[in-house]
Amino acid sequence: MDFLNSGIPLGRVFGINVRLHITFLLYAFYRIQQFPNVLYGIAFIAGLYLCILLHEFGHALAARWADGEAHDILLWPLGGLAYCRPAWHPTAHLICTVAGPFVTLLLFLGLLAATQLLRPWAGQSTPVWYAYYFLGDMARLNLFLLIFNLIPAFPMDGGRILRDTLWHWMSAEQATRIAVWTSRVIAALGILWAVYSQSYWLILLAGFILLQAQSEYAVLAFEVGGRYGFSLRERLQRGRRQRAFHRGVATQQAIHATAAFHRCTLCGRTEQDDPKLEFRVCSECSGGQEYCRDHLDSHPHI
């Protein structure tokens, strides 16, 4: 069984399947035990992964906007994985990559604003204080996720942003090679720092970066078969045309919704003038004209 292709289905949103890896339950149980209050620990983990899920939806929806595909999101102990395949074009890939950190930035700013609004009423041991404390934790968490995710090393978004930016001036293979070597240098520096500071968990992170950096070559070989010809200008123009079309359809629907259904050919009255008016179609008129009861028998046939 493929480790990353298994998971508990959570539902389908915007046509995207959301799955929860079984190892997440073990991780969540371990993390919750570290909180003095179990209920707060559950809320913290739920909030953390809700933010991660929104981050991944940023990637997935941006990939679709950039003429690509996105069908699955997997939540697992190391965060989230959005299976995205935007159009094979540097701008399309950059849009897809940047969308995730952009969502995290919006979450940080929104949560920070919420804490500032609650601060005047956040007295000790009140429900507002607990909300203020929780939102503050979520804001700091999103700031950490944003900074950490922008490290220019695979598999973080920073590594892909580096590759996608360089791709605008060189081939995808050359850009990937530079980004992979940058990832290796950062991983090596992380190992040295881990030994110096005795933070040995950083060695695991560095090893993960090295493995993921190497796998980018395989990802590159797979994605080369994607769609070509993406144009940001054309995509923006297409979006404007689509919005104009939908506005036109909505306008016509509003007009039809308020327009009268019956109208007397002779006097012009409708059911909106008098809801009690009755209308009939004259069978002797050539065009099947409709008349109100007052003129059904007294009109000249057309």
Cross-sheet strand order for the sheet of 16-20: 8-13, 16-20, 69-76, 79-85
Find, among 62, 61, 135, 53, the residue nearest to 92 by Cα. 62
Query: Which residues are CB-contacts of 90 (< 8 A; sequence separation ≥ 6)?
Result: 164, 165, 167, 168, 172, 175
Supply the pLDDT for residue 1: 44
Q: How far apart are CA 138 and CA 111, in angstroms?
A: 7
Rounded CA separation 3/180 (Å): 24
**pLDDT surpasses 70 at 185:** yes
Q: Is 50 exceeded by the pLDDT of residue 148?
A: yes
Give the residue, 161 or 270, on which the prediction is more confident. 161
Q: What is the pLDDT of residues 226-261, one digit of tens each?
A: 556 677 778 778 888 888 888 888 888 777 777 777
Pairing of strands 16-20, 8-13: antiparallel
pLDDT at 227: 56
What's the CA gap between 237 and 186, in Å, rounded? 40
Residue 98 pLDDT > 60, yes or no? Answer: yes
pLDDT at residue 232, rounded to an integer:
77
pLDDT grade, residue 4 (50/70/90)?
low
Q: How confident is the model at residue 5 (pLDDT cuts 50, 70, 90)?
A: low
Query: What number is the average pLDDT over the span 160-164?
Result: 93
Domain residues of the chain, as ranges? Answer: 1-149, 165-230, 258-302
Q: How many CB atoms lie within 10 A of CB 158?
A: 22
CB atoms within 10 A of CB 261: 10
H or E element that contains 19: strand 16-20
| Distances, alpha carbon 25 to alpha carbons 13, 20, 38, 39, 275, in Å | 22, 9, 15, 16, 63
Is residue 136 a contact partner of residue 145, using CB atoms and an 8 Å limit? no
Number of helical H runs and strand E runs in the chain: 8, 6
Distance between CA 57 and CA 80 in Å, rounded? 10
Over residues 35-63, the mean pLDDT reads 90
Report pLDDT digits (tens) over 216-232: 777 776 666 555 667 77
